[in-house]
Amino acid sequence: MVSKSCREMIEVSNINKTFMLGDSEVRALNNINLRIEPGEYLSVMGPSGSGKSTLMNMLGLLDRPDEGRYLLNNVDTLVLDENARARLRREKIGFVFQSYHLIPRLSAQENIEMPLMLAGVPARERHASVAIILEKLGMARRAHHLPNQLSGGERQRVAIGRSIVMKPAILLADEPTGNLDSNSGREVTEILEHLNKEGLTLLIVTHDNAMGERARRRIHMRDGLVISDKAHEAA
Ligand SMILES: Nc1ncnc2c1ncn2[C@@H]1O[C@H](COP(=O)(O)OP(=O)(O)OP(=O)(O)O)[C@@H](O)[C@H]1O
Ligand SMILES: [Mg+2]
């Protein structure tokens, strides 16, 4: 599913991001340096407010740092205008969030299909891609269910389907199992890990130690700083 030619290297150097809220200043990212090879599997852990989501949004080109450099496969993403950044994001990056963000009026199948529609992919091709993904996620029998007719784990599987339908090289998951019970959480994690085995670069933000320890590389943040970044044996 993930072609080798679209694999992307992430290189972030001296990234800073400060938010102003009234008179108070929050240093959300404090001199972050990261190099992430194509196909890596990382977890990002740390207390609430430590900058995990800010980092993911920055890596996902949803937000810009105040300072620093962010190269995506040698392309300097910070000099690009918003259109070029949006294009890069659409082509290279998938997102999965804690609260799914599905469109309530659309079925599972239609939610997954949406990015292809927006990209102008012809119907026949769209339906073929979506059918493969539904099958892969074990959701073929739920294709016509609306989000409110699905369990939390099933909704998250649909959200994953939508995030991979454009065949991104990088998947950013911000607490993807945060709203799930442990069984559905494990299933969702296994799906994400399977995608990583196929070549997708996977970053997972989690508060769950056991989940964080499944990743080979584990980053810990505090107060906007990366306080540790270690590689471990595969779990
Ligand atoms: N848009 C914003 N405006 C002002 N401050 C913000 C904004 N976004 C984030 N912050 C602040 O930046 C810091 C980092 O926030 P971030 O959302 O990255 O934390 P987090 O590690 O993801 O926390 P959590 O585990 O609760 O999701 C926090 O102190 C937060 O209050
Ligand atoms: Mg967060």
pTM comes to 0.94
pLDDT surpasses 70 at 10: yes
pLDDT at residue 8, as a whole number:
82
Q: What is the mean pLDDT of the chain?
A: 94
Q: Which of 50, 205, 206, when mutated, tests ligand 1's pocket best, judged by the most ligand atoms within 8 Å of its CB?
A: 50
pLDDT surpasses 90 at 78: yes
What is the Cβ-side half-sphere exposure of residue 30, based on CA atoms within 13 angstroms? Answer: 14
Residue among 70, 99, 45 at smallest CA distance from 211: 45
Burial (Cβ within 10 Å: 0-12, 13-18, ≥19) of residue 7: middle
Task: Say what angle helices 182-197 and 152-164 make with each other, to 10 degrees.
Answer: 20
Amino acid at 21: L
Give the Cα separation of 224 and 46 in Å (integer): 10
pLDDT at residue 179, as a whole number:
93
pLDDT surpasses 70 at 118: yes
Determine which helix (DSSP H) or strand (DSSP E) holds 20, and give its type and residue range: strand 10-21
User: Ligand 1, atom 29: nearest CA belongs to which residue?
Assistant: 49
Q: How far is CA 171 from CA 62, 145, 150, 163, 195, in A?
A: 14, 25, 23, 8, 9
CATH superfamily, domain 38-62+91-231, is P-loop containing nucleotide triphosphate hydrolases (3.40.50.300)
Phi, psi of 159 (to 5 degrees): -60, -40
User: Ligand 1, atom 31: nearest CA belongs to which residue?
Assistant: 49
Residue in the block written with tokens 């009026």? 105
Close Cβ partners of 28 (under 8 Å, ≥ 6 residues apart): 17, 18, 19, 51, 54, 224
Confidence band of 98 (pLDDT split at 50, 70, 90): very high
> Is residue 220 within 6 Å of ligand 1 at its C-beta?
no
Q: What is the mean pLDDT of residues 198-203?
A: 97
